[in-house]
Every structure is written in C-alpha cells, then in structure tokens.
Chains A and B, each alone.
Chain A
C-alpha cells in the first residue's frame, strides 16, 4: 500500500512540475544554507584542530604574571626550570627565548629572530626537515653552538649552495648549521610564535647562567594521555610552592585550552548564521504546506472518488503526508548533495583553504528536521482531506 502512496505522489509531482520544483526550491535553499554553514563550521573546527594539534605530547605554557592587588610580579628562574624538570609526568621542559641577531652567511648579513629549540620542539610542533638533521640530545645538553635555519633565511644567506655543514657568525659567536627547517604560519600559531624565526638554536646557547635571569615563558611537555587539568594543577602548585601569596603570580595554560577558546569563538560567530538559515527552512516548510493545501482543494473530487472506492481516512491522510514528505525530503537531499559536491569542488579547485566537510551527524539531523517539516506542513491539509464527506467531495466542482 505504501508503494501506491509513493507512486501516486510521484505521478502527481510529474503532472505539476513547476509547482513541485518551486516548493522543493524553498526547502532546498533552507537546507543548502544550513548544511553549507555546517560544513564551514566543521571546516573551521578541523582547521583549528589541525593547526593546534601537537604530536606525541601535551604542551603547557607557564608564565609569570603581574598581580595588580599586591603590585607584585612573578619570577621564573633557571632554578625553577630545573625543579619543573623533576615533576612526575613531565617529559621535557624548555625556556621559551627569542631574540634578534645579525647573522653573516656566505655574503650577506641578515638580522633575524632566533628561537630556542630543544630536541622535542621539532617533533611536538611537527616542523618538517628540509635538509640536514635536527639537534641531537647531546648538542642540546652540552650547549653546542649549532643552528637550524628556516628555509627563507637559508636561501637569503646562502643563495648559491646548501648551508648544511657551513659556519655562520652571529655577532661574534660561530655556529654550525646542521639543518634546514620548513616553516609555515600554522607552525607559528601552533608554537605560539609571533613571527617566523630565521633560525633555531639550543636554549642553553642564549640562556645565560646568571641566577637572577628572569624567564618570560616556560614550556612543559607531558605524556599526551595524562589528565590535563590534573597536570596543570600539579605544575601550578609546584611553581607557587602552595603559598597563597604566590598563587596569583603564575599562570599555566595547556595548548588544548587555547584551542577550545578559539573553537568557541568560531562557533559563536556561526550560530547566528545558523539561526538565519533555520528561518529560511521554516519559510520553505510554509511553502510546502501552501502547495499541499492547494492540492487538497484541487483534488477534492478525487478524494471523493477514492473514498467511494473504499479509501479510509488513513489512506487519504497517508497519501497526502507521503506527498509532502517527498517534496521536502527531495528538496533537502538534493540540497545536501549539492553542498557536498560544492565542498569537494571548493577543496579540489583550491578555492577554499579550509577543509570543508559536511559533518554526518548534524546533517542527518538536518534531514530529519526536513522530513518533520514535510510531515507538519502536510498534516493540516491531509487531515482536512481525510475528514471530507465522500458525498460532498464527489459533488464538488
């Protein structure tokens, strides 16, 4: 019997193609807008996740802050660094240092930013190696004067040959170039750097051993499986030595927390757009209801004939409901399909740098809502049709 309802609905839709297409278009536009926004949202989320995700470790940033109440500022020293290294769960610790140096290469002198980097730095932040090698643990531990140049700087300083194995002069100190690293804006974001550095050197080479030296930022890496909240608490209590007066002088934040904040921001920007798209979907639903009402009136006599031939109320009701559900579901499905094709095209043609992707679960929800709209939109017209007296309906002109 359901096959018959379906068949009838399709035959009628074929009979009135313009009306069918127009009412589907309303739903189509609503669902297309909705799923395009969902795809953008998903794309943004994946983008953020990709940019922020570190490899093989969770990263925490510890920094001193200024407490406005007590007018005191926190101090991080090399001694703190050594203490943090011994914390259970901590894999490696590194002071974040950056400064600017004039480097003399093959023929040119460049003023570049230098960033301290240990062995883990390259793997955790997923920095690609273009030539040579990264630092060895031994070199970092014994503070060897070795350097890794970023690609752009390497090209400027050594335009004619590879700098790997060559010596460069950094304001009186001689460094051996051991490797070349690829770089991108994503790495800057991931590693919390303001700008692309020219080179990387072991932290000890720039860190002076004087005890009063104050560190701006300490980076800690822990196992990725460790509970981040617990870990952040442990770090915080170690650095404040659980003294209430020191509590407000230091801040520990995990990289994932920063990611969450960013994701929430993008979500809030899109949710207002989602509301607008939802309204257009409702407008589409009203269009379907209107078409169904017209259809019921037009087909009054047919309803009479069907009832005379033995159709019950449910037969008539279901027939009209199936029709309105097909109208909206077809509109919704084609919308999702075309947004999906659009996403693929945008990515493969390089129009969008975001990994646009229709998220499956919200999209299923979207389809369910569309079917529900069809059901609701058809309910009133269909029940009106089903309640008609067959004798009256047959006489209807």
Chain B
C-alpha cells in the first residue's frame, strides 16, 4: 500500500486578531491507497473546514498537505483547480447536479474541464457502472434522490480521481436509498477506489474500514 494523502499538523484559523477562531487545530492524517476512511464529527466540530482543505477547496493556515508526494498547501487558485479536477472526486450531500444539464452532460463536466477527449463514451460507461445507463438523457429534476446521487458518483469517477471525497452522501436520502448508496461506495472500494467519507451519522461511518473522530478541531 502506498500513501496518497498526508496531513501534518494542519490548522485553519478564521478571522483576524482578537476575533480569530481556530477551527481546525492541528490535524494529522495519513490515507493509504485503497483505504475507506470515515471522518466523523458533530456539526461545529470542524469537519467541513477539514473537508474543504482535503478537497483542495481551501488552504490551511499552517501545517502541510501532501497529495501523491507533492505539497499542495500553498498552491495558487488555478493550480488547485487543475489538481482538484484530476485528483479529487466530490460527492456532495445535496448532489449539486446542474439542473439544466442531462445526467450525461453532468458526468461530462469534470472531463470537459480536464480537456479530455471521448468524454461522452466514458460518461455512458460510468452511468452504466452506477446502474443508470437508461437515464443518460434525463434531467436531474425528473430523477429520484438516489438516482441523482448515483449520477453524482459517476461524475466523481469521471477523471479517475486519486480519491473520492464524500460529504454526507446519504444526508439527503431516506435510509433505504442511503443504504443503497453506501453499498455502491463499498462496491467501489472493493474495486480499488480510495474513499474518504465525512459524516456525523454513526451508522454510515461504521461502513468504513477505519473511523477517525474529530471534535473541537482535533482528532480524538
């Protein structure tokens, strides 16, 4: 197993001077290739801020983040976008599909931003993988929550990311559909994908191989 992501003493401060608030207070995590890790914490624990830094949406105030051996904690905006595009596959609580695009067009988006050829064929293949080949030309509004999250998962897989980053992937779903989505993630994990799961739900967290708990900005 090789290490793909390492956070060393990562801190994030919000605000300036007296009013400054340290939300993440020195977190160190190492993620190995093929792991399925859940980061758990209640709301206000700092897990969202941690997620933003892991997902290269935000930079830490101090400490370092190393992705595939490369320090990414001080990259510029466009470099971060470039890396995010190829390395991180986001799965959001509220799916975040673009409503005016079909399932297939949504799956194509990350490949378009990566300027990849053959996006359409790959999108069809991925939709087949999540069991939605027949919905390729449907708009998100006509789909159920479970279907939308599957489209989002297909989209997250589009650029063969280094890891999937799932932020409360079952948070907007009923428990049965939620279980189906978790099964799909488990399947992907067995297929070799590295998955980072952020959740406050213990039942969901238990599906991961390894569970880290964050509280008050620190791992416990």
A interface residues, Cβ below 8 angstroms from B? 1, 4, 8, 11-12, 14-15, 301-302, 305-315, 389-391, 394
- Is B25 in contact with chain A by the CB < 8 A criterion? no
Are the CB atoms of A309 and B57 closer together than 8 Å? Answer: no
A253 nearest CB across to chain B (Å): 67
Which residues on the A side are within 8 Å of B58 (C-beta)? Answer: 389, 391
Binds A, one of B94-102, B121-129, B130-138, B203-211: B94-102
Distance in angstroms between the alpha carbons of A216 and B70 in the assembled complex: 98
Distance in angstroms between the alpha carbons of A306 and B90 in the assembled complex: 11
Are the CB atoms of B113 and A311 closer together than 8 Å? Answer: yes
A-B contact sample (7 more), CB < 8 A, given A305-B92, A308-B84: A8-B100, A12-B100, A310-B85, A310-B110, A312-B77, A312-B82, A313-B81
- Is B6 in contact with chain A by the CB < 8 A criterion? no
Which residues on the A side are within 8 Å of B57 (C-beta)? Answer: 307-308, 389-391, 394
Are the CB atoms of A308 and B90 closer together than 8 Å? Answer: yes
A251 nearest CB across to chain B (Å): 72
Query: Number of contacts between A and B (CB, 8 Å)?
Result: 63
Which residues on the A side are within 8 Å of B10 (C-beta)? Answer: none
Are the CB atoms of A311 and B81 closer together than 8 Å? Answer: yes
- Is B159 in contact with chain A by the CB < 8 A criterion? yes
Which residues on the B side are within 8 Å of A315 (C-beta)? Answer: 113
Are the CB atoms of B96 and A310 closer together than 8 Å? Answer: no
- Is B52 in contact with chain A by the CB < 8 A criterion? yes
Which residues on the A side are within 8 Å of B77 (C-beta)? Answer: 312-313
Question: Nearest A residue to B88 by beta-carbon distance?
Answer: A308
Are the CB atoms of A4 and B112 closer together than 8 Å? Answer: yes
Number of interface residues of B (CB under 8 A): 25
- Is B155 in contact with chain A by the CB < 8 A criterion? yes
Are the CB atoms of B101 and A11 closer together than 8 Å? Answer: yes
- Is B176 in contact with chain A by the CB < 8 A criterion? no
Which residues on the A side are within 8 Å of B159 (C-beta)? Answer: 310
- Is B41 in contact with chain A by the CB < 8 A criterion? no
Tell me the residues in window 55-82 of chain B with beta carbons closer than 8 Å to chain A beta carbons: 55, 57-58, 77-78, 81-82
Interface majority SS (helix, strand, loop, mixed), chain A: helix
- Is B172 in contact with chain A by the CB < 8 A criterion? no
Could you say which of A12, A308, A312, A389 has the most chain B C-beta atoms within 10 Å of its C-beta?
A308
What are the 10 A-B residue pairs with the smallest beta carbon separation, nearest first? A310-B85, A310-B113, A391-B57, A391-B52, A305-B96, A11-B100, A312-B81, A309-B110, A391-B58, A312-B78
- Is B114 in contact with chain A by the CB < 8 A criterion? yes
Are the CB atoms of B82 and A308 closer together than 8 Å? Answer: no
Distance in angstroms between the alpha carbons of A391 and B57 in the assembled complex: 6
Which residues on the A side are within 8 Å of B24 (C-beta)? Answer: none
Question: Nearest A residue to B97 by beta-carbon distance?
Answer: A305
Complex A-B: 24 CB contacts under 8 Å? A1-B112, A8-B100, A11-B100, A12-B100, A302-B98, A305-B92, A305-B96, A306-B98, A306-B109, A307-B57, A307-B81, A308-B55, A309-B84, A309-B85, A310-B85, A310-B86, A311-B81, A312-B81, A313-B77, A313-B78, A313-B81, A389-B57, A391-B57, A391-B58
Are the CB atoms of A1 and B115 closer together than 8 Å? Answer: yes
Are the CB atoms of B84 and A305 closer together than 8 Å? Answer: no
Which residues on the A side are within 8 Å of B100 (C-beta)? Answer: 8, 11-12, 14-15
Distance in angstroms between the alpha carbons of A389 and B92 in the assembled complex: 17
Distance in angstroms between the alpha carbons of A310 and B83 in the assembled complex: 8
Distance in angstroms between the alpha carbons of A307 and B56 in the assembled complex: 10
Which residues on the A side are within 8 Å of B115 (C-beta)? Answer: 1
Distance in angstroms between the alpha carbons of A305 and B159 in the assembled complex: 16
| Binary interface encoding of chain B residues 163-184 relative to chain A, with 1 for a CB under 8 A from any of its CBs, else 0 | 0000000000000000000000
Known: A390-B57, A391-B57. A301 touches B113 (CB 8 A): no
Looking at the complex, which one of A14, A302, A309, A389 makes contact with B90 (CB distance below 8 Å)? A309
Distance in angstroms between the alpha carbons of A302 and B106 in the assembled complex: 12
Which residues on the B side are within 8 Å of A394 (C-beta)? Answer: 57, 92, 96
Which residues on the B side are within 8 Å of A8 (C-beta)? Answer: 100
Distance in angstroms between the alpha carbons of A312 and B98 in the assembled complex: 17
Looking at the complex, which one of A14, A305, A306, A310 makes contact with B114 (CB distance below 8 Å)? A310
| Binary interface encoding of chain B residues 149-171 relative to chain A, with 1 for a CB under 8 A from any of its CBs, else 0 | 00000010001000000000000
Are the CB atoms of A310 and B84 closer together than 8 Å? Answer: yes
Distance in angstroms between the alpha carbons of A31 and B56 in the assembled complex: 46
